[in-house]
Amino acid sequence: MEKPLMIALDFDNLSSVTDFLDAFPDPSQLTVKVGMELFYQAGPAIIADMKKRGCQIFLDLKLFDIPNTVKQAMVQIGQLGVNYVTVHSLGGSAMLSAAKAGLAEGSAASNQPVPALLAVTELTSISDDVLKNEQHAALPMQEQVLALATMANQAGCDGVICSALELKTLRQHLQPDFLCVVPGIRMKADQSGDQVRVASPDQAAKDGASAIVVGRPITKAADPVAAWHRYQATWQNN
């Protein structure tokens, strides 16, 4: 799909994931996000299951360590056959370049396509106050995210994770094919939960998002399939 809607599988066990995906008539239409909670519980087996179902897979482990450690971890991840992976841009350009090299090495070893490498800029739970008074960043949020995205681009990343509030700024300064993947997506009627910088799917589409990530508004809905269709319609038609 040209504009993926990535479902964050915020479950703590494989059985709940199976029940959720079994409700969808054609899971091959889905792009799913496997985060730390699920991957640390189920391990690579969850990736194998998603691949059997035909899902596109976003493995969101947000690696953040010294360059060599991240590279060797990415060698392993590159062999799994996922479509997207994440690192923290705050790890610096050397770490990002090492991540890219590790992915290429691992993918080649298992004859898999190289996943898109996405650098996390600032988490959507980070407010301007936290950025200034806890992270002690010298730049305001818009400039901070742009600086991190520019560095990630120069280091060979394929895109970034950012909030919808920074999309317009990024699109003004980065090439059109640089991916901007946006979490914190909620319909206006849905609660924001623990995320601060949120937006609706139609607003993210209009401002230039390449993909959006939706979790609990779909996974915790009374009818997850209907909720997915509702978000899809709003996202794809703008």
Residues forming the active site: 60, 62, 65
- Is 133 annotated as belonging to a binding site? no
Q: 217-229 b/e with 16+ CB inside 10 Å = b? A: bbbeeeebeebbe
Instruction: In whole angstroms, give the CA distance from residue 198 to residue 170.
Output: 16
- Is 230 annotated as belonging to a binding site? no
- Is 186 annotated as belonging to a binding site? yes
- Is 224 annotated as belonging to a binding site? no
Structure tokens at 43: 């391990």
- Is 9 annotated as belonging to a binding site? no
- Is 69 annotated as belonging to a binding site? yes
- Is 171 annotated as belonging to a binding site? no
Residue 183 CB neighbours (<10 A): 26
- Is 58 annotated as belonging to a binding site? no
- Is 24 annotated as belonging to a binding site? no
- Is 215 annotated as belonging to a binding site? yes
- Is 31 annotated as belonging to a binding site? no
- Is 197 annotated as belonging to a binding site? no
Instruction: In whole angstroms, give the CA distance from residue 235 to residue 5.
Output: 8
- Is 139 annotated as belonging to a binding site? no
Structure tokens at 143: 């400039």
List the beta bridge partners of residue 63.
Answer: 87
Q: Are 121 and 78 in contact (CB under 8 A)?
A: no
List, as residue ranges, the binding site for substrate. Answer: 10, 33, 60-69, 124, 186, 195, 215-216
List, as residue ranges, the binding site. Answer: 10, 33, 60-69, 124, 186, 195, 215-216
